[in-house]
Structures are given as C-alpha cells and as structure tokens.
Amino acid sequence: MKKSIIILTLLAVTATSCNLDKFPHNQVSAESMQTQENAIAATIGNYALFKATPGYAGDIFVRHNQQLHEFKSDNILMSGKSTDALFLAATFQDSEVDDNVKVYWAQGYRICYATSNVINVIPDDTEDAVMRHIKGENLFLRAMAHLLMSEVFSQPYSFGRDNPGIVIRTSAMTSTPVRATVGEVYDQIEADLKKAIELMTDGKRRGDNGYADVNSAKALLARVYLQEERWQDCIDLCDDLLSGGNHLDPDYEHLFQFSRTSEEVLWCIANAMTADDYIGGKQVGQMHYSQGENGKAGSPGQQGWGEIYYSQPLLDLFERYPNDLRLTTMREKYDPNPAKKMIYWPVDSGQGTLENNIDTNPVNNGDGTWTAKDGDGNSHIIKQELVNTYPRWYFDDGATKVYVSVTDSSGCRLPDDRYPINYCKKYVHQEGNVTDYALQSSPAMLRYAEVILNRAEAYAHLDKVGEALDDVNTVRHRAGLTGAADFTSGNMAARGYDNVLDVVLDERRMELCFEGFRTLDLQRNKKQLDRRYAGMQPNAVYEYNDPRIIYRIPQVEINASGIEQNQR
C-alpha cells in the first residue's frame, strides 16, 4: 500500500518559541498532553509551525503562504528574473516540482497533524477551562491551515462544492489518502471553527495577538461564510464582532509594525526579533523591501531583495487620493527626489511583457503641460484631463490617448530604468526596528478591516448599497479620506462604477493589498485577472476560471499517494 508524503514528511519537528523551551513533537503522546504544561508547550510548538521551523528546509510557511496567495494577482509588479520559485508563480510558469509548493504542502499538513494530536486527546467536556481554550486554539489553527491550503490548491468554493479539494487531515493516517471535495473541506473547516468558538467563548486570549481567541475563530468563520456565499451568515457574524466598535487602529502607520499588540489584529503569526525567528532573513518582507546599514538599498549590510513592487493599476487607484495614508505610510520610494519629475508609460518589450519608457528629464512647459520623450527620441505633450472625476495625465499618439504617470523622480530597477522602485512596508520594521532584523514582522492574518470589508461585500451581493458603502467609508475614514472622498449611491456612477460590488472590491484591493486576498477576490466574484501593465510578469488577461491560477499538487505527493493532480 502506498503511503502519503503527508505521513512521510511528518518527521520529528522541533518547534521553538521565544517564551517556551523546545517541545519535540516525536515525544508527544495522549498521556503527556493531558497536563496543562505539556498541552500548552505542544500548542506553542503548533503556532511556531506557521513560521520558522529550525532544521527543516530553512524556510517558513507564512512566507510561502503570502507568495502563493499574492504573486499571481494584479497587485504585484515583478521587476526582474529570479531563480526562486516565486518567479515561476508570478509568471504562471509554476509546476508540481517547485520548492515552494513542496514546502507549503508538507508544512501545512505538519500543522494539521500536530494540532490534531492536541485536539484528539482533550475531551470536549473537560471542566478545565484552560484545556478547553487550548483545544479551541488548536481547532482554529487546523481550520486556518486547511483553509489556506484549499485556497491555493483547489478551485474556489463558489465554483461548486463537488470540485476536487485537498486531503482532510484530522488524525494519524494509516492508509492512502484521497482528496476530499471542496465542499467536504469547507464543512470540516466550519465544524472546527464552530467547536473552537464554543470552547473558547468563556475564555480569554492567553497572551498577545500571536495567540488565538474566540474572536479569531469568529473572524475566520466570517471569511469562510463569505467564500461560501452565505451572505447573511457572514453579516450576522461580522455584526457580532463589530458590536463593540470597529476596532480599527487609528495609528495606521504603525499597525503592521506592532501587530502583536494592535487592537485591530485578531491574529498574527508572532515572530520575535531573534535569530531563531529570523531564519536566514527568509521573511515575508524579503521580496517587498530592501535596505542596508544607512537605510538604503544597495548599501553595506543590505537586507532583503526588494524585487516586488506595487503594480501600476494599484498605484493608480491609490493616487486618486494622494493623501491616502495607506499609500503615504506603506509605500516607500527608493531614492526619491521631490524637486524633480519623471514621466513614464508602458511599452511593448517584444518578449510578451511590458516595460516602462521613462523620461527622467521631462520639460515643464509652464502652462500645465509637460514634454516627454519616448525611446526613439520623439517628443510628446503631456496633458491632464478628468477621467471619472479623477485627474489623469496622457498624450495623444495620433491614434489613441496614452495614459502616463507623472511622479517625483526616484530610483528604478534594472540598468535601463524600467521600473520605479516602490517598496511595500507592511512586513518590515517590527516594533520600529530599522537596523537589526529590519525585515522582521509578525504578519497579521486576521484583522478588523477585513471583517468590515467582508460584511461590505456580503451587503453588496444582497444589493444593500447604503450598508455596503457605510462599511467602505468606515475603512476609508481611517485612511484619512473623509468628506468629498466618501462614496455615496449618488456619486458611484460618476466615479466610474456600475455597481456597489466593484466599489467594495477596489477598497478591498487597496486596504488588503499584499495580504493574500486579491486573486481569490477576483476568482470568487468571476472577474478577470488583468496584468496588462509593466513588469516581468506576462502581459495578459486571465479568466477567473483559468486552471493555471491554482497550484499543482507537489509531485512527491502524487508519486507517494497517487491522489488526483490539478489539471492545466
């Protein structure tokens, strides 16, 4: 009988914590975990499996999670080629033998296995309140792992319950596994979360936001209901979570730096600024940011590659309101020069991609226009007009209008100055640290802004326009966008929106960018994935049901267990 790689890779894993000693998983037994001390230690180890795993692959689950979820989206600009498998994901060339899917699959099932060990030895009816809460935390973690893996290895729930899902892992397996249906996977996730809510209702969080509590489980279940298109169930659960206020952190600039203590964060993957939790610098922020000893990329002591930037369509959304805190505090231009302008627009590279033509010395004509040159030395008059009430720069090439970007001068990626460097700061400078472990962060996996926008989308699907826009405006107000920046049922059309759902999706795109939501948001709502903008990713439009959007099951798993492969 074949054995699953899920079993074969569940070797002795030693998880570490900044607060507890090592707890070897190969020494876990039902008897040992029936004491609070050992159950707590095993649970701390289970939390650690979401981040660094010393002695295993030198990589971390959360880094791959962010890249697998985000790098096929239209939020990212891939600025150069890389030998890392993330490049294959970003360019839709990924395969079943890539290291990222192998690590992610194996580590995801480590989490499911290890949490099940704790879940299955603590009775539901135990009178020990701490043990009840610990069991609830492990149910939450197992649900999270199953959901995250289902999102990248399976078609969305909204495509049908009977599509192939992932393997459900709730106990030790002794026979060949099978892929459950997507519906069966979501049923298991819902059951785990409902039980987690029941067990943790009378308890409280056992530490900072790195620990789950009853509201963590409710927020994740609200996400599940949204994906299942159970609009009213989603709204009801979000209402419950928001009954005490919106919980948005007023200090947006430091929200992601202090995610372990922010009121807004419902659960984060807690990292300590130590070598154990840094693991060779392989953090989520590695590809989004780069700096050296003097705070600039390319200087001595450089940390991070900083090769993934904001896509131009995402920047265009933000720059409708230049004072949006989400742009001004989370984007960092490399080597900016506000006293000088540059003008750029995408052109065909001849290799299936678009690259920017950049004029770093445009001429200010003094009449509200600019003159910029293209790659052939031809001059173009750059003018401004209103498009859907928002100002846009353009030139007329004789056949059509070419829209361009006019920005402060900044450094660019590659010798030919093709891609302005716009770093994202969501995953760096934990607790304000900008020197040692500058790339360190504790990524927020659940936060109240998502809860509000989940409710907004559910309202939109029920055609409750006013309620949806109220939620959208709540999030915008925290970003500093009030008054005339508010959305109303009367100004949507003038701003270019046919329906309230598209307003919500754009707001989700801005608020949750680089947090792993965008690709599934488009798939779930049957929207095209449009990547016709500059970058090393293909210049293409992908249909929402393109089979290349989901990832292939690792070949080592197929070889070992023979489960069904995702087709291309």
Q: What is the mean pLDDT of residues 150-158?
A: 98
pLDDT, position 430: 95
Strand locations in 193-305 (E): 265-268
DSSP category for residue 310: E
Residue 449 pLDDT = 98
pLDDT in tens, 414-443: 767 799 999 999 999 999 998 888 899 999
Q: How many residues does the chain have?
A: 568
Confidence of residue 339 (pLDDT cuts 50, 70, 90): very high
Q: Cα separation of 520 and 529, whole Å?
A: 10
Say whether domain 5-203 belongs to CATH 3.40.50.300. Answer: no
- Given the DSSP bridges, would you call strands 401-409 and 390-396 parallel, antiparallel or unpaired? antiparallel
Q: What is the pLDDT of residue 184?
A: 98
95 three-state secondary structure: coil
pLDDT-derived band at 13 (thresholds 50, 70, 90) equals very low
DSSP 3-state of 35: coil
Share of the chain above pLDDT 90, in %: 82
The per-residue pLDDT for 417 is 77
- Neighbouring C-beta atoms of residue 528, cutoff 10 Å: 12
Angstrom CA distances, 191 to 136, 182, 537, stand at: 12, 14, 39
> Secondary structure of the chain: what % helix, strand, coil (to 5)?
40, 15, 45
* Averaged confidence pLDDT in the chain: 91
pLDDT one-digit tens code per residue, 494-551: 999 999 999 999 999 999 999 999 999 999 999 999 999 999 999 999 999 999 999 9
Is residue 521 within 8 A of residue 456, CB to CB? The reply is: no
Helix (H) or strand (E) segment spanning residue 445? strand 444-447
Burial bucket for residue 366 (CB in 10 Å: 0-12, 13-18, 19+):
exposed
Reported as a pLDDT band with limits 50, 70 and 90, residue 31 is low
3-class DSSP state of 474: helix
Q: What is the pLDDT of residues 95-133, one digit of tens each?
A: 999 999 999 999 999 999 999 999 999 998 999 999 999
CB neighbours (10 Å) of residue 320? 18
Mean pLDDT to the nearest integer, 397-414: 92
Cβ proximity of 320 and 390 under 8 Å: yes
Find tokens 């989004």 and name the residue. 288
For residue 19, the 8-state DSSP code is: S
What b/e sequence results for 239-273 when a residue is b if at least 16 CB atoms lie within 10 Å of its CB, and e otherwise? eebbeeebbbbeebeebbbbbbebbbbbbbbbbbb
Span 305-315, mean pLDDT? Answer: 96
* Domain parsing of the chain, residue ranges: 5-203
pLDDT band at 275 (very low <50, low <70, confident <90, very high): confident
State which amino acid sits at residue 366.
G
Range with the lowest mean pLDDT among 197-211, 237-251, 266-280?
266-280
pLDDT band at 229 (very low <50, low <70, confident <90, very high): very high
303 falls in which pLDDT band (50, 70, 90)?
confident
324-353: average pLDDT: 95
What is the rounded CA–CA span in Å between residue 322 and residue 139?
A: 43
Q: Who contacts 323 (Cβ-Cβ below 8 Å, separation ≥6)?
A: 480, 481
